[in-house]
Structure 1
Amino acid sequence: MFPDVPLYHGFVKQGGGVMASAHQKMKALCMMMMMLNVFICVLVGVTWNHGDDKSVNQRVRIPSAKFWHKQERSKSFWNKEQQLLDFIHNPVINFATSDESLVELPDWLNDTGPLDPCEPDYRVTTQIADYNTLPQRFQDFLLHMRCRTYPMLINQPRVCDGKPFLLLAVKSLIPHFDRRQAIRETWGRAGVLANRTVATVFLLGNTWSPDHFPDLQGMLDHEAELHGDLLQWDYRDSFYNLTLKEVLFLEWFGQSCPHARFVLKGDDDVFINTPRVINLLEGLTESKAKDLFVGDVISDAGPHRNRKLKYFVPESVFVGQYPAYAGGGGYLYSGELALRLYNTSRRVVLYPIDDVFTGMCLMKLGLAPEKHSGFKTFDIEEKHRENPCIYRILMLVHSRTPQEVLRIWSWITDPELDCQ
């Protein structure tokens, strides 16, 4: 710590006189002070350890048993896959596995399916008892539930170069040319709206030969070249793969549009009052905007067990209650939250209902969607549907035909419409 200088009880051996002697005494004093500090620290430590045992035990509890107990694996396929993901992404357990005396690993951790997550997972055919009775597209989802990587057929990497205030991300299907065009001419018109930059993208998968759709890819390529707003991936576009569309979009967002302030994600059969949405967003505080996620929230729901229903999920696939989630017809959230949702989505097993899956991701983040009365994903009362002033105060209504979208837009943009 100090230079290697010989010390003497009197003056230094050569030259230096009284000043040199005083310098050496100062060093000796510093050394004594350091030794005294060390002694005090040791004394305090001994006093702490030999003090009141009850007080010590209240401060620190040293476990005498292993903290990880064998966990029974669920009998439902989705739940046990989630158990596996929870284990893999648990930093405490992963740290503890470095010491085998602390952790006893469950034997089911070896049941991980094929090494390549995009290979068909044929475990589902034996581990889901009623697999053969499920709808064919549901079977297809389960076989490929672990795959999240698909080639991109059409991309728009520069659509967000202007750092839009609002990105409208619209779920669509290849044949829905008329819906997309109606949106472009009304609420999804890209450019500057209410003094804010708005960008629009339509999210598409691909057709699959077993579904017997006509080949419209050439028309789609022309549409993409004409409008520059289509995003398409090469996966089977079906109701059960809407969750895949969600995670692929979030990945694209992080790569190509991370500076968009807000995202409104909805179906291609909704009407959105874009000016009113922008007005809502402009009134938010920074803290409110950061975790924003609003929509038509559904709480205390669970899986439907009726096989005739569109949202049917059997007990062999999932058990438990759903978290609060916003109806998939349309919801609004911050761009910052979109980035966090993507990272969290990798820790949640794909679920065959996309809005429920998004609710699961929010719950992982410790968040919940906020209900907003302006989002009507289950429509409005029939007696109000022809009232132009109703649409002036709403944010989103589901569902409307392309012709109705054009008519409603003409109502709310009419400067002579008096709604006093």
Structure 2
Amino acid sequence: MAIKNIWHSLAQDRCPCIHQFKTAFFLLLTLTFLLLAVAYASDFTLDTITFPKTWFTKIMNQTHYKVNDSIWADHNQKDTLAHLPNQQIQQRGSTISYHIAHPSNYHYILDEPDKCQQSPFLVLMVPVAPHQVEARNAIRSTWGNESTVQGNAVMTLFLVGLTGGSDSEKAQQQLEEESRQHRDLLQSNFVDSYYNLTIKTMVIMDWLATRCPQASFSMKVDSDMYLNLENLVTLLLAPNTPRQNYITGMVMWNRPVIRDTNSKWYVSEESYPEPIYPTYLLGMGYVFSNDLPEKIVEASKEIKPFNIEDAYVGACVKHLGFAPSSPPDPSQFRAYLGQYKREDFLRVITTILGSPQQLIDIWKDLKRPT
């Protein structure tokens, strides 16, 4: 009996606390939903207000950004690269109205539309920063100077974006003068930045598709690369090398998407939700049959853009229904060769170098009489 009285007394003592807690909880819940309703109704944004990183903030952020389903945005194009800096994004009000990586969103400031009149066998497309004149000149005096290899016409072109900074007008004038002198510069009106490499690559594909469809093969090759054209052309002329739906280089299999926000290669789940990239080719240098640029541009209408350009091309290729090919000799596409050995450079197709001067020095040594 005594125990029963004790429990009855404790229950009486706790009931007011429980009642007060329930009342406070329902008031807080009601206030939360009222705030959410106001935010949604007025398209409220959090640009100037800082909240703790709680579940409430996450819910609010879900209503913070909306994308209009139109043009390229109608194929799963929501949240297209909006979080990345230095993007050129066409906006209508507060909405993104198209797929920003698609090349039709950009035009050419410098162009060489008649460059392919002679139907080159191989076109080398070099993405390079506007200020990297030394890199362009090193290529022009080495592998970029090779116009005929094993009787086949080869052509080299450089693609740059818009210059930035306080001296951009002067830099643009210098680019235009360089273009008049060499007739090998292409420039489009995207901001030239690391995060825009996907746009840069898609503009390259567009140029090949619209200005140079008659070429047999093309190659996207970075400006810090050594390129052995003899070995490359030998590969392309081999009877077992396909002339359609062919792309090869240094193959990347089962590469995880980097979610570390401090990494240079960070990609958000919103931009690319899968944990593993499709098979792709390392962006330092990959070669492809020239039917592919038009197909890749077309596929890009369906593939949400993200900022890892080589993996993005891999996603487009996967969408087309095939995979990159491993080269007959994978050791010919090398990231680094280490200490210079002449025989190593005579065997490879591509490898990364440390400077434009190193390219010039190695080239001179490789071309010396033996």
TM-score normalised to structure 2 length: 0.72
Q: Which of the pair has the greater relative contact order for Cα pairs under 8 Å at 6+ separation? A: 2
Match of 1:265 among 215, 220, 223: 220
Task: Give the deviation of 1:139 after TM superposition.
Answer: 10
Kept in 2, the 8 Å contact 1:169–1:264? The answer is: yes
Distance 1:140 1:388 in 2: 47
Structure 1 residue aligned with 2:286: 331
- 8 A contact 2:84–2:195 mirrored in 1: no
1:136 counterpart = 2:91? no
- The match for 1:378 is 335
Task: Give the whole-Å Cα distance in 1 for the aligned partners of 2:334 and 2:88.
Answer: 28
* Secondary structure in structure 2 of the residue aligned to 1:175: coil
Q: Decide which moves more: 403-412 or 171-180.
A: 403-412
Show structure 2 runs of 5+ residues with no match. Answer: 1-65
Query: Do the aligned partners of 1:350 and 1:357 also contact (CA within 8 Å) in 2?
Result: yes
Partner of 1:185: 141
Alignment partner, residue 243 of structure 1? 198
- Paired AA for residue 220 in structure 2: K
Separation (CA, whole Å) in 2 of partners of 1:400 and 1:371: 26
Q: CA deviation at 1:375?
A: 4.6
Identity within the alignment, %: 26
Q: Which runs of 4+ in 1 moved over 6 A?
A: 138-145
1:222-264 Cα distance to aligned partner (Å, 9 max, x none): 1101110111001111112111112222122122100111111
- Of the three residues 327, 330, 348, the one matched with 1:394 is 348
Which 5+ residue runs of structure 1 have no aligned equivalent?
1-110
CA distance in 2, matches of 1:275, 1:154: 30
| Conserved? CA contact 1:377–1:397, under 8 Å | yes
Distance 1:333 1:116, change over 3 A: closer
Q: How does 1:21-420 map to 2 (within 5 A)?
A: 113=68, 115=70, 124=79, 136-137=85-86, 146-147=99-100, 148=102, 149-209=105-165, 215-285=170-240, 288-320=242-274, 321-372=276-327, 373-376=330-333, 378-380=335-337, 382=338, 385-416=339-370
Give the 3 Å change call, closer, same or farther, for CA 135–151 of structure 1 in structure 2.
Answer: closer
Taking the aligned partners of 1:236 and 1:144, their CA distance within structure 2 comes to 19
C-alpha distance in structure 1 between counterparts of 2:303 and 2:296, whole Å: 10
Cα distance change on mapping 1:232 and 1:265 into 2, 3 Å:
same
Q: In the alignment, is the contact (CA less than 8 A) between 1:271 and 1:400 conserved in 2?
A: no
Deviations 1:164-213 (A, max 9, x none): 0110000101000010011011111152233210111101110245x986
Larger radius of gyration: 1
Other structure's SS at 2:202 match: helix
CA deviations on 1:57-83 (whole Å, 9 max, x unpaired) are xxxxxxxxxxxxxxxxxxxxxxxxxxx
Distance in 1 separating the partners of 2:150 and 2:210: 27
- In 2, the alpha carbon distance for the partners of 1:185 and 1:144 equals 44
Residues 1:346 and 1:135: Cα distance change in structure 2 (over 3 Å): closer
Deviation at 1:114, TM superposition (A): 6.8
- Between the aligned partners of 2:353 and 2:340, the Cα distance in structure 1 is 14
Rounded Cα–Cα distance in structure 2 between residues aligned with 1:191 and 1:352: 33
User: Any idea what the Cα deviations from partners look like across 1:106-148, whole Å, max 9, x if unmatched?
Assistant: xxxxx75175779xxxx85xx99xx8xx663479799697233
CA deviation string 1:6-30 (max 9, x = no partner): xxxxxxxxxxxxxxxxxxxxxxxxx
Q: 1 CA distance for matches of 2:248 and 2:146? A: 22
Provide closer, same or farther for how the CA distance between residues 309 and 194 of structure 1 changes in structure 2, counting only shifts above 3 A: same
C-alpha contact 1:327 1:377 (8 A) present in aligned 2: no
Aligned CA RMSD, in angstroms, stands at 2.8
CA distance in 1: counterparts of 2:237 and 2:349, whole angstroms = 14
CA distance in 2, matches of 1:332, 1:245: 16
* 1:313 to partner: Cα distance: 1.3
Aligned pair in 2 of structure 1 residues 371, 285: CA closer, same or farther (>3 Å)? closer
**In the superposition, relative to structure 1, how do residues 406 and 266 fare at CA in structure 2: closer, same or farther (>3 Å)?**
same
> What CA deviation, in whole Å up to 9, does each residue of 1:310-339 have, x standing for no partner?
101123433212101000011011112233
Distance 2:317 2:205 in 1: 14
